[in-house]
A and B are shown apart, each in its own frame.
Chain A
């Protein structure tokens, strides 16, 4: 064990992590993710984007109320980094309760604002969940 003298010396004060507290909170307690087999979750539509060769992939599954076209439930899975996990967690919260068209209007910037910012080189990671949601909505529209 190494004593954390850095914290004691105050070098870390205020910025203990490269990510904001909200990002960290969503990373540690992600909302709406699906553990285990995705085939056991009865969704109305799904979208998968990204490529594991590039280091990230995202699957988004949605349930939709047929009459109101509102998203009633969202579940996601990912092979991705902390930014991808936190931003998709945030997106899943933002999307729930919105109509499909409203959900499509959620921007990457809105997710970033919700999380209180992301490091610049991590911006593309947050786009992944966003693209997966758009793919799921497109899948739903094709089916209905």
Chain B
């Protein structure tokens, strides 16, 4: 199997598994004052310290949640009824909850997925822009955007779920007030994430009815998952995984992009060449439907990918991210995301290129659509 869906979820690191197995033997409720409870709480605080170190935060600024979606929901819950500005390509957990709870203004992005300028009124309480987008890999200049938000008196949140471990993150340097991170994108378990809350920032608990996390989130501590997350964070920091991604994975990703654009007619890149994560490549194949490409890759080549096609999303709508960047439903329905992990190799790319051209060719030939509508002069879209 060639697994190229690391951005959806990454295999559990052996280090994380080991820490989780050890934590499974901790029997005490971490909130309890007895000895077993203390042992469990020690494991939790060790993990908290690891998450903090990874992003250059203080341990008390780290709140454990059930994952990225809860962290994002926690943010919009702090700003209920207030003016918030969120980018058009945020994760649905941020975008939809902001629309539901807040007076949300959508900040448009350019064709690469970047917020170019931030123009907000002083009446805005919060601005939320992703550090890196999950579908395209596009990286936004958060330091600049946070500064612009602060200049208008708004607080700043960034969703760093995809960026964590892939690029170096320093919350003090970025100067953000809140940051969302998740465990399973860096080789930790699913079901655990965190929210960085800069000391002194406004906060309202999202899950209420318990004193855990210093009254900031109710619910019995998930000692096992937290220990796994901590171990994955430690692994990322000690191995400087962002350097490995940069040196080993980015060239692989770029090679796959080049070979696709060269060898497959009517292919085009949704991921920008620069300012993108080293491990995500999103490509569209005109006239070939994305879910079909994804399933043929799986069935014929055991190649595991994702798609922005409506048929795969479950809600019947094409990717809101590609609609925001390229505003073309056919391109969105015809998109495939390849996301690499630390284990990815040149062999994986060769394997993809053994199957992908034939699959796309067949789907284009049986298609009711005719490829060729993308303008040739728009070289960014790389049409052959």
B368 A59 Cβ-Cβ under 8 A: yes
- Contact bitstring A20-34, B, C-beta under 8 A = 1, else 0: 000010011010011
A78 B1 Cβ-Cβ under 8 A: no
- Chain A residues with Cβ below 8 Å from B289 are 55-56, 78-81
Most buried by A among B3, B292, B345, B369: B292
**Complex Cα–Cα for A52 and B333 (A):** 8
B11 A81 Cβ-Cβ under 8 A: no
Interface set, chain B 307-366, CB cutoff 8 A to A:
309-312, 314, 316, 318, 329-330, 333, 343, 345, 347-348, 351, 362, 365-366
Query: Is B299's beta carbon under 8 Å from chain A?
Result: yes
- Given that A1-B348, A4-B302, A17-B299 are contacting pairs, would A81 and B287 also be in contact in the complex, using a CB cutoff of 8 Å? no
B292 A121 Cβ-Cβ under 8 A: no
Query: Is B2's beta carbon under 8 Å from chain A?
Result: yes
Closest partner residue, chain B, to A53 (CB atom): B329
Query: Is A2's beta carbon under 8 Å from chain B?
Result: yes
Interface set, chain A 67-117, CB cutoff 8 A to B:
77-85
Most buried by B among A1, A48, A81: A81
Query: Is B291's beta carbon under 8 Å from chain A?
Result: yes
B367 A79 Cβ-Cβ under 8 A: yes
A81 B292 Cβ-Cβ under 8 A: yes
B314 A121 Cβ-Cβ under 8 A: yes
Query: Is A58's beta carbon under 8 Å from chain B?
Result: yes
- Chain B residues with Cβ below 8 Å from A59 are 368
Interface set, chain B 148-188, CB cutoff 8 A to A:
none
- Chain B residues with Cβ below 8 Å from A17 are 299
A81 B311 Cβ-Cβ under 8 A: yes
Most buried by B among A30, A54, A122: A54
Which one, B309, B312, B347, B367, contacts A1 given CB within 8 A? B347
- Contact bitstring B288-301, A, C-beta under 8 A = 1, else 0: 11011001100110
Interface size on A, residues (CB 8 A): 34
Most buried by A among B291, B330, B351: B291
B347 A48 Cβ-Cβ under 8 A: no
A35 B365 Cβ-Cβ under 8 A: yes
- Chain A residues with Cβ below 8 Å from B11 are 2
- Chain A residues with Cβ below 8 Å from B309 are 55, 81
- Chain A residues with Cβ below 8 Å from B300 are 28
Nearest Cβ on chain B to A142's Cβ, whole angstroms: 21
**Complex Cα–Cα for A77 and B293 (A):** 16
- Chain B residues with Cβ below 8 Å from A55 are 289, 309-311, 316, 318, 329, 333
Nearest Cβ on chain A to B112's Cβ, whole angstroms: 23
Query: Is A3's beta carbon under 8 Å from chain B?
Result: yes
Nearest Cβ on chain A to B253's Cβ, whole angstroms: 17
- Chain A residues with Cβ below 8 Å from B365 are 35-36
Nearest Cβ on chain A to B135's Cβ, whole angstroms: 16
- Chain B residues with Cβ below 8 Å from A58 are 368
**Complex Cα–Cα for A56 and B345 (A):** 35
- Given that A35-B366, A79-B369, A85-B292 are contacting pairs, would A54 and B1 also be in contact in the complex, using a CB cutoff of 8 Å? no
Nearest Cβ on chain A to B2's Cβ, whole angstroms: 6
Nearest Cβ on chain A to B343's Cβ, whole angstroms: 6
- Chain A residues with Cβ below 8 Å from B366 are 30, 33-35, 77-78
Nearest Cβ on chain A to B267's Cβ, whole angstroms: 16
- Chain A residues with Cβ below 8 Å from B329 are 52-55
A125 B368 Cβ-Cβ under 8 A: no
**Complex Cα–Cα for A59 and B333 (A):** 18
**Complex Cα–Cα for A69 and B289 (A):** 34
A82 B292 Cβ-Cβ under 8 A: yes
Most buried by A among B311, B329, B345, B369: B311
Nearest Cβ on chain A to B4's Cβ, whole angstroms: 9
A77 B368 Cβ-Cβ under 8 A: yes
- Chain B residues with Cβ below 8 Å from A4 are 1, 302
Which one, A1, A34, A79, A83, contacts B2 given CB within 8 A? A1
Which one, B292, B347, B348, contacts A80 given CB within 8 A? B292
Nearest Cβ on chain B to A130's Cβ, whole angstroms: 16
**Complex Cα–Cα for A79 and B365 (A):** 10
Closest partner residue, chain A, to B6 (CB atom): A2
A78 B348 Cβ-Cβ under 8 A: no
**Complex Cα–Cα for A82 and B2 (A):** 21
A-B contact pairs, 19 of them (CB 8 A): A1-B1, A2-B11, A4-B1, A24-B299, A35-B366, A52-B330, A53-B329, A57-B368, A77-B366, A77-B367, A78-B289, A79-B288, A79-B289, A80-B292, A81-B289, A81-B291, A81-B309, A81-B312, A82-B295
- A-B CB proximity, top 4 nearest: A81-B311, A55-B310, A81-B291, A55-B333
